[in-house]
Structure 1
Amino acid sequence: MQKHIFKIVLLALVLAVISCTKAIIDEGDKSTLPPITKTVTYEADIKLIMTNNCITCHAGPAPNAGLDLSNYQNTKYSAEQGSLVARMNSATNPMPPNGTLSPQTLQIIDKWITDNLPEN
């Protein structure tokens, strides 16, 4: 009976370890995506990306790294300086830290910058 319980516990541990691994999904890259033809704006496109991926850490009275991405002016400034996209595309220290943004999302941010960072 103890041998049977041991096998069950061992199997449960193996399954727990396997389920905690991180899957890597190759989503391609931005260069393989069809071009975005509409104008990308902060209010319509970028604000939601920042809300979903950045402002948990980069907002409030003491944002991480002193970087507040909770509004248009601050996000625009970071994009103009190049730090926003550089960190999102970093191979060694990407943002957000829980995983890189999808190629589609990065393409939207690039298009916003190409479109001269419009607010509306």
Structure 2
Amino acid sequence: MNNNKFIILCFMLGFTLQSCTTAILDEVDKNTLPPLEKTVTYESDIKSIMTNHCITCHAGPAPNAGLDLSTYANTKYSAEQGSLVARMNNATNPMPPSGKLSPETLQILDKWITDNLPEN
């Protein structure tokens, strides 16, 4: 490759890399979301959140931290104690370990607690 082609290639590569941008999405605050109008229940809303985000570690004969979130009664107890949502909202060490749940999911959990933790 001659010098002119090399210089043009480097220029084009530099221009291309410079024009690339990274979109940074602002995290939505759950308090700015529109309020949920429906009653949130364990069976219709919370159970799937626990199944998708929690019970891989927090279920079975030896759940992590001794916390079994595989049943309504156990999840309700954890929510009543304040540890369930507090840990999910922890900025430095949130649960699940893969990262903080979406503001929409956290809003559903908060609404369930506000609705007095109904099962059905």
Report the TM-score range of the alignment, normalised by the length of the smaller protein.
Answer: 0.7 to 0.9
Q: Which one has the largest radius of gyration?
A: 2
The reply to whether residue 91 of structure 1 matches residue 83 of structure 2 is no
Superposition CA RMSD, Å: 1.3
Write the distance in 2 (CA, Å) between the matches of 1:64 and 1:24. Answer: 33
TM-score of the pair, normalised by structure 2: 0.79
Pairs within 5 Å for 1:1-120: 25-120=25-120
CA distance in 2, matches of 1:106, 1:24: 21
Give secondary structure in 2 for the equivalent of 1:97. Answer: coil
Alignment partner, residue 19 of structure 1: none
Question: Identity of counterpart residues, as a percentage?
Answer: 85
Q: CA deviation at 1:98?
A: 0.4
Aligned length: 98
Segments of 4+ moved more than 4 angstroms? none
The alignment's TM-score, normalised by the length of structure 1, stands at: 0.79
Deviation at 1:27, TM superposition (A): 3.3
Aligned AA (1:98) = S
Name the CA distance, whole Å, in 2 between partners of 1:119 and 1:26: 34
One-letter amino acid of the counterpart of residue 52, structure 2:
N
